[in-house]
Chains A and B, each alone.
Chain A
Amino acid sequence: MSRHRLLRFVYWGVVLCLFLPLALVALASLGDGPVVGFPIARPTLGWYAIALADPEIVRAFLVSCAAAVASTALALAMGLWTSLAIASLASPALRTLLLCGACLPLVTPGIISAISLRIYIRLLGIDPGLGAIVLGHAIHSAPYVVIVVGLRLRLVPPHLVEAARSLGAGQIRAFCSVTLPWLRPAIGAAAVLALLESFDDFLRSFFLGGYRPTLPVLIYGRLFSGLSPEIGAIATLVLALTLSVGLSGEWLFWRTRTPQGS
């Protein structure tokens, strides 16, 4: 049993090590000087006011949100379509082939994904900017949708669809009133995942962005000019946002794994 105690000790130690740096981010936002240094003598909330009044930051936040929403919509549409197409194939070899092709962006290392997209948008005649970022993020997120939705698609009870069909529903009607509602939690979980992937993404935004940076790109730039509490304040707000979005997504995802939840 002492072995188990040791393992639990390791577990809580790592949890602490993972959360401690994030706690430092929140702490840093209270810093009293222009450069963060621990310990903080006189904590202040003033940096939040400064950060929120900075038009550059507000604009970057809005760019990030726009990119996240638009790329998630595109990734959901293509991911859902792809997982339905995969499920419709009779041959397992073809199914694997399409699945592998659809999941290719998952195994492409970040820098290569970013530069190949940068080259590609030039071929397509798209200028660097929000449109390019949306496309790049959607390409990156679509595989997650394919996987999460695909997991649940395999659990659709066939008798439900058959029942709908025998009651006279057409294929499309049966899909809309049986399959789609069944997939809803998976679509929700995939949407949250895609939103987070886009909102947090740095690499693709960095190489595909134009003059208006997304929030991670803005923070990246400022990290080179010292650790200011203002970055701490932005990062803390981002942290709170992503943690709460992530938590709600996880809740949806675990519901997709149980056959009952719909």
Chain B
Amino acid sequence: MRIGHALLLLGPVLWVAGANLAPLVEMARISLLDVYPAAPDHVPRYGLANYALLASPIYRGAFLRSLGFAALTTLLTLLLAYPLAYAIAFATPARQRLRRLLLLIAPFWTGEIVRIFAIMLLLANRGAVNGVLRWAGIIEDPLPLLYNPFSLAAGMVYVVLLAMLLPLYAALEKLPRDLLEAAAGLGAGPWTRLRRVTLPLTREGIAAGSALVFLISLGTFAVPSILGGADTTLFSMTIGGLFASSAGRWPLGAAFGLTLLAAGLAIAACIMGWVDRRRIPTT
């Protein structure tokens, strides 16, 4: 019995340690190295020099821009997904809810790259939007919609929206409906009900969705590479660039990667912590 149980645990523990944790630990080790790969006669020296390079203006700009775009994406998806989730949970007959939700999920089965291509077709100079506007006679020359902050934000939202929608829907679906009826019975109008009942009671869903979307947005590489412009280089692209060439620049890339991860997790933790702090008193 004991041995059987130990065997049952052995595989997963090894997997978690060897496949989930070890890559991050090795990345942390590399990030402290002065030279990588080390020459045979070189004694590796560990230090924080790579992390200090973040202070240089080129890198700092991309780092802060990444945080900013991730925050913007989080806000946009929240504003878009909340009414959507609300519409399915409250303005749809119970029998149809699942089908309506599925219809929203379906576009997200397609890969990131196909969706980026789709956004390009929409926004390119000879794309659909410019085509319609020119056909309607509103514009003469195509609007520059692609390769700028606008197309980047549109692409980000199109890629990450689902990660916001599902936690929000899960939270809204659980909301006891009699509470809303009670609030209405006590004379609360729709806005008061939203502000005093619905939003506070779905705070956990809002926090979970926001933290998730923030982390995912920080990690997107293909979206900014393709849809962004010259002035929207994000930190993920900086990091990716350091890994594109030979291994020599990996320590710097690893240090930047860990910094991004730490910043993302810290902000995600703040978002989640905000839920705990503002829990409604039960009395």
Measuring CB to CB, which residues of chain A are less than 8 angstroms from any residue of chain B? 3-4, 7-8, 10-11, 14-15, 18-22, 24-25, 27-28, 35-39, 78, 81-82, 84-86, 88-89, 98, 101-102, 104-105, 107-120, 122-123, 135, 138-139, 142, 171, 196, 199-203, 206-207, 216, 219-220, 223-224, 227, 231-232, 235, 238-239, 242-243, 245-247, 250, 254
Contact = CB atoms under 8 A, between A and B. Distances in A.
A35 B126 contact: yes
B136 interface: no
A256 B118 CA distance: 33
A232 B121 CA distance: 10
B105 to A, nearest CB: 7
Contacts of B102: 250
The 10 A-B pairs with the shortest beta carbon distances in the complex, nearest first, are: A109-B219, A200-B111, A246-B109, A21-B118, A37-B126, A110-B219, A120-B23, A38-B131, A7-B87, A116-B23
Interface string B169-210: 000000000000000000000100000000000000000000
17 contacts: A7-B83, A11-B92, A18-B158, A21-B118, A25-B118, A28-B121, A110-B216, A111-B236, A112-B258, A115-B27, A119-B30, A200-B113, A224-B226, A227-B124, A235-B114, A238-B111, A242-B114
B80 interface: yes
B164 interface: no
A235 B83 contact: no
B110 A243 contact: yes
Interface residues of B, number: 83
B112 interface: yes
B228 interface: no
A10 B122 CA distance: 20
Contacts of B41: none
Contacts of A81: 8, 11-12, 15
Contact of B86 (A7, A107, A201, A220): A7
Q: Which of B16, B127, B220 has the most CB of A within 10 A?
A: B16
Of residues B105, B117, B126, B158, which shows the largest number of chain A Cβ atoms within 10 Å of its Cβ?
B117
**Chain B interface, DSSP helix/strand/loop, else mixed:** helix
Contacts of B91: 3-4, 7-8, 11
B227 to A, nearest CB: 10
A19 B9 CA distance: 44
B65 interface: no
Contacts of A104: 16, 20-21
B254 interface: yes
A120 B25 CA distance: 9
B167 interface: no
Interface in B68-120: 80, 83-84, 86-88, 90-92, 98, 100, 102-107, 109-120
B118 A199 contact: no
Contacts of B239: 111-112, 115
A245 B117 contact: no
A91 to B, nearest CB: 12
A21 B219 contact: no
B118 to A, nearest CB: 3
B87 A203 contact: no
Contacts of A203: 219, 221-222
B218 interface: yes
A232 B127 CA distance: 13
Given A107-B212, A109-B236, 16 more contacts: A8-B92, A10-B83, A14-B104, A24-B122, A81-B8, A85-B13, A88-B5, A104-B16, A108-B24, A117-B23, A119-B23, A123-B26, A216-B113, A232-B121, A239-B114, A243-B110
Nearest to A192: B109
Given A112-B260, A199-B111, A102 B20 contact: yes
Contact of B215 (A109, A117, A118, A201): A109
Nearest to A77: B11
A223 B222 CA distance: 11
Contact of A120 (B12, B22, B114, B121): B22
B219 A101 contact: no
B48 interface: no
A250 B102 CA distance: 8
A196 B109 contact: yes
B20 A105 contact: yes
